[in-house]
Amino acid sequence: MTQRGPAIVVMNQFAHIGKGQSILSSAQMEHFGIQVDDKSSKVGGKQQISTPDGFVIPLDIKNGLPYLRMRPPTDRELSNPDIPHVVLTSDVDWDPSVLDVTIDVDEWAKSIPDDGSEEGERPFDRVGILKSNTTVTTLRDSPALDDAIDFFESHHCVMPTDGLYEVHPRQASDLDWFECNMAELFDLDP
């Protein structure tokens, strides 16, 4: 299905198992001039494939992977001149190495602006530990919950971030701290 209605998709040089899912390479389609936006709309993507001739095909995202809804066309659909054929890949043998590029890390690093957030603005420190924690919760009306909310709103509390995810503080000399924490968290014998 496209924004213009049904279409027959033509895919040359692609991985087809014969049953179930087929594998389409976004790099192969993009090399052919197709625009592939296979990012979820939940992270700013469009979830679509756009062809140079103006067809837009939606993609579903399931378990983090993009899927194109399709099925084999019927003989009647194949012979119907009103159903357009949309070509997604070239009929020339596909050589994925045509897109190979080795990055010069030094040149790449110079080309990236280093104007990111200052240390104080980032939520994590340099080793990935969360500096502060804010919890936002949506609750339904309930007298017990309202009382709890009133209690917490009436107290200004700052939660220390040292040992935020640990039941027992970690000591540099104690190599079993992780095992001990996991045992207590999951009610196991260490």
Sequence letter at residue 6: P
Label residue 20 by pLDDT band (50, 70, 90): low
Of 190, 173, 172, 174, give the one whose Cα is nearest residue 182: 190
Top-ranked range on mean pLDDT: pick from 16-20, 24-28, 130-134: 24-28
Contact 49, 36 (CB under 8 A): yes
Residue 110's H or E segment, with its range, is helix 105-111
Residues of the chain by 3-state class (helix, strand, coil), percent to 5: 25, 15, 60
Tokens of 184: 């207590």
pLDDT score recorded for residue 50: 97
pLDDT higher for 119 or 8? 8
Q: What angle do CA 3, 17, 61 make, to 5 degrees?
A: 40
How large a percentage of the chain has pLDDT more than 70?
64
48-84 pLDDT, tens per residue?
A: 999 999 999 999 999 999 998 888 899 999 999 999 9
pLDDT score of 47 more than 70 = yes
Give residue limits of the domains in the chain: 8-93, 118-190
Residue owning tokens 């983090």: 64
pLDDT score of 45 more than 60 = yes
pLDDT higher for 162 or 94? 94
Q: Across 70-119, where does the E strand assignment appear?
A: 85-87
Label residue 128 by pLDDT band (50, 70, 90): confident
In sequence order, the 6+-apart residues with CB closer than 8 A to the CB of 12 are 87, 89, 90, 91, 92, 94
Between strands 8-10 and 85-87, the pairing is: parallel
